[in-house]
Chains A and B, each alone.
Chain A
Amino acid sequence: MRSPAAVEPPAAVEPPPPARAAGAAPRPRRAEAEDAIRVEGLTRRFGAFTAVDGVSFRVRPGSVCALLGGNGAGKTTTISMLLGLLLPTSGSVRLLGVDMLADRYRVLPRIGFSSPYVDLPQRLTVTQNLEVYARLFGVPDRRRRLAELAADLDLGELLGRTYGSLSAGQRTRVAIAKALLNRPELLLLDEPTASLDPDSADRLRGYLVDYLSASGATALLASHNMVEVERLCDQVLVMKQGRIVERGSPAELLGRYGLGTMEQVFLDIARREDRT
């Protein structure tokens, strides 16, 4: 797990450099850079129902932030609005310094996204799917990039198979490969290891740690897997009923609640009505 870095508030103190995965290259320091994610007053109503209610947060470049919450807490809706797939009722989103409502196409080539709520064309092979997306993202030297990802994510035997013939776990790995094709500066991952067996999930987390460490990329991760959160994330945002009800580093939250694991913290927050 990496040490705390940067979700606001608090914002006054320059965070310590994050810990490294063993053997990984030092991550670039970009203290002067703009927030990788800056969300202010983000609200989304569907009729009388408020799915996301005045959410504000910042994620600094190079950090990994977890977005936690029970089912229906507003995580996927928030990520949809960050990407511009869903228009907010009010509020603003800036990714990598770009206003997503005004100019999302300027920044989309620098973002990677994966979610269990979307799929790739079933009848195309893995190679065909990845090639199409590599072209959409304007990836230079596509063949080499595909070979790198196939090796890193152990996709070699899957490349010639149709996406529809893959197991859920294999599809997840392909979707992560698609998200990483363009060597994104910002990764938005919705439950990235949800359908993976423990071994595959652990390998994928290791790969993500290496990628983020080597590239200095920022990540926002919606997850129900607390092991994943403790291993990958500098900071945690906990959502409940469309609002952020808790924030801090995993260590801070463990200390604040006097509990031993993030799972216990999550359960405590989820079950305390008076905290919402």
Chain B
Amino acid sequence: MRPGLASAGRVYAMVLRYSYLLRGSWPRVLELAYWPTVQMILWGLINQFMAAQSAWVAQAAGLFIAAILLWDVLFRAQLGVSVVFFEEMYSRNLGHLFTSPLRPSELVLSLLVISLLRTLIGVGVASVLAIVLYQYSVFSMGLALLAFFSNLLVMGWAVGLVVVAFVLRYGLGAENLAWAIIFAVAPVTGVYYPISNLPEWLQPVAWALPSSSVFEGMRAVLIDGVFRVDLFWQAVALNAVYLAAGWGLFLHAFQVARDRDLLLHVGE
């Protein structure tokens, strides 16, 4: 078999492994859609209230609903990488995986694929319910939605790989990072308000996050009816750096794990 095909086969094997896990447990599938749906309902109600109180919010139907759905893309993409990797640690399977021909980068690729699928399921259900409950369709953003989704997905992957690297290095004691880390970004990245609302000294930090360009871009589409190409490319460029850094950190953590005898004893 050609090396490229063999490599694709191994990535597929791992995607299959994670899909077996998902298919074997309906509570896991339910959980994927549960939080995005609860968040969407909550922010939909806030959106209705704020639209009646604020001319700024009233300009754009579903502003907060779109924001929370896109925020969940970032969060779910990150969890889709990190929590799925934790499954290998919980089941003490890393010793088997890394004595098979599976390369670390192939494992990463499979995590990214399964993260995409989990994010589509979770946010997809909430997006459809938003149409039913609030008559707001996030899909009305058209191709801009694809641009926003892709950028947030990639940033979520990058953050997820950083979490995985930390947990591989420091053990499952660090697993709570998976839930905590992304919320450190939330106040800074302008999910619900413009970056200009932040203190001046914090704004450069915000603009260093790809997600800030996405949420600013989302407001430009919903309020001004303009797709900001400059913000799109800014997010793409930052994401390239973030993903390379996350991937590199994971590979480094893998080498450290090999050096410190963590692969065979992880999860214990």
CB atoms of B95 and A137 under 8 A apart = no
CB atoms of B264 and A86 under 8 A apart = yes
Interface residues, chain B, with chain A CB atoms under 8 Å away: 1, 6, 9-10, 12-14, 16-17, 20-21, 24-25, 87-88, 90-103, 255, 258-259, 261, 263-265
- The answer to the question of A135 belonging to the interface, with a C-beta cut-off of 8 Å to chain B, is yes
Number of interface residues of A (CB under 8 A): 34
Select from chain B the residue with minimum beta-carbon distance to A115: B95
Q: Kindly identify which residue among A80, A87, A122, A138 contacts B6, using a CB–CB cutoff of 8 Å.
A: A138
Nearest first, the 10 A-B pairs at minimum CB distance are A118-B95, A135-B13, A119-B92, A136-B100, A132-B17, A113-B99, A121-B91, A128-B20, A109-B101, A136-B13
Given A108-B101, A115-B264, A124-B17: A135 and B92 interface contact (C-beta under 8 Å): no
CB atoms of B24 and A124 under 8 A apart = yes
Give the CA-CA distance A83 to B6 in the complex, in Å.
21
- The answer to the question of A105 belonging to the interface, with a C-beta cut-off of 8 Å to chain B, is yes
Give the CA-CA distance A46 to B259 in the complex, in Å.
10
- The answer to the question of A54 belonging to the interface, with a C-beta cut-off of 8 Å to chain B, is no
Q: List 14 A-B contacts (CB under 8 A).
A: A76-B264, A77-B261, A86-B258, A105-B103, A118-B95, A118-B264, A119-B92, A124-B17, A125-B20, A128-B17, A132-B14, A133-B100, A135-B16, A136-B100
- The answer to the question of A84 belonging to the interface, with a C-beta cut-off of 8 Å to chain B, is yes
CB atoms of A118 and B103 under 8 A apart = no
In the complex, which residues of chain A have a beta carbon less than 8 angstroms from the beta carbon of B14? 132, 136
Select from chain B the residue with minimum beta-carbon distance to A138: B6
Given A113-B99, A137-B100, A137-B101: A120 and B263 interface contact (C-beta under 8 Å): no
Min CB distance A175 to B, Å, is 8
In the complex, which residues of chain A have a beta carbon less than 8 angstroms from the beta carbon of B91? 119-123
Given A117-B265, A136-B10: A85 and B17 interface contact (C-beta under 8 Å): no
CB atoms of A135 and B10 under 8 A apart = yes
CB atoms of B96 and A120 under 8 A apart = yes
In the complex, which residues of chain A have a beta carbon less than 8 angstroms from the beta carbon of B9? 135, 138
